[in-house]
Amino acid sequence: MSVYKSQQRPAAVKFVAEARNFRKETILTLKRFPNSYRYIFTNKMLDLAADIYIGCTMANAIFVHKDMSAQEIELRRKCLTTAYAKTVALLCEISFCYEYVKQGNNFFKDGYDYGKRFENWIKAGNAAKSLIKGVIEADKKKHKSNE
């Protein structure tokens, strides 16, 4: 039996795929930047993107079940909360980078290419952020009912 699209919920593991996509978009965008931006933007942003993906992967590795120990619940919560916070931080850095690069660059073909690349990057970040937040909220509900 199929489920109506409006009634479907996102798969629990989709947050890992979105974090991976956000990392991929980060790499695709930042590899266009010249080396002179390495210490200003790119290294820090690549580290944040890697941390987000790794945090989501670590949280997903903790099997959710009704007999979870308090340590497992806390570890999963920490991984997800850290990934969420770093996602917000990276989105803030993207906004700052967008404004800085907008002043003048020669490493994007034109304004359309520049705008489209940043738009895709921010969409991927917002998708990852909302799914991570959703998993955090779902975990809160599950663990309140198990107490």
Q: Which domains does the chain have, with CATH numbers?
A: 12-146 (1.20.1440)
Instruction: Summarize the confidence of residues 69-77 as an average pLDDT.
Output: 91
Q: What is the pLDDT of residue 95?
A: 93
C-alpha 37/C-alpha 55 separation (Å) is 26
Separation in Å, CA 119 to CA 3, 11, 122: 31, 25, 5
Query: What pLDDT, in 10s, does the model give residues 101-146?
Result: 877 777 777 777 788 889 999 999 999 999 999 999 988 888 775 5
Q: DSSP label at 62? A: S
pLDDT at position 3 is: 56
Pairwise CA distance, residues 33 & 105, whole Å = 9
Question: pTM of the entire structure?
Answer: 0.86
Secondary structure letter of residue 39 according to DSSP: I
The single residue listed with the structure tokens 């800085």 is 100
Query: pLDDT, tens digit, for every residue of 93-102?
Result: 999 988 888 7
What is the C-alpha to C-alpha distance for residues 17 and 36, in angstroms, rounded to an integer?
31
